[in-house]
Amino acid sequence: MAQRADHNLMLHQNLLFRQSNTGEYQIVVPGAIVRPLVEETHRIYGHCGTYKTFKLLQQNHQFKNMYQTIKGIIKVCDLCQKAKISNLTARGTNVKPNPGKTKRNDIGRSHGALTEGTRRV
């Protein structure tokens, strides 16, 4: 593990900063706080997508595999997952296959399937 001398690094109040190509110092985010940082940014900006979160963080922060890490964290966001599910449900209710053509036997069968499914969950 050879450490390359990096003259763009600066330690300030126990935080490591690295000078970017544009000359501005960015925080080198310690691994332990990458997740909370990404989660908070994602939440504060209204559960924005991976790209926007990445762009926001990129302005002042650096960490390893930035885009992939952000993508992985947002992918498992609770609220975004639920939003996705409700979107699918809303879309599903618009689909009305053969309205008024349902036979009594069909109702009985689908009701049974629903009860069975509920019990399993």
User: H/E element holding 56?
Assistant: helix 50-58
* Interaction pattern, residues 36-55, with Zn ion; x per rule: CB under 5 A: -----------x--------
- Provide CB contacts within 8 A for 71, sequence distance 6+: 50
CB closer to Zn ion out of 84 and 111 = 84
Residue ranges in 3-42 that form contacts with Zn ion under rule CB under 5 A: none
Rg (CA), the chain: 25
What is the smallest separation between the CB atom of 70 and Zn ion, expressed in angstroms? 12
The Cα–Cα gap between 73 and 87 comes to 21
The type of residue at 8 is N
CB closer to Zn ion out of 28 and 80 = 80
DSSP letter for 12, please.
E
CB closer to Zn ion out of 79 and 114 = 79
Residue ranges in 66-85 that form contacts with Zn ion under rule CB under 5 A: 77, 79-80
CB closer to Zn ion out of 26 and 42 = 42
The Cα–Cα gap between 100 and 77 comes to 40
What is the smallest separation between the CB atom of 35 and Zn ion, expressed in angstroms? 13
Binding site for Zn ion (CB under 5 A): 47, 77, 79-80
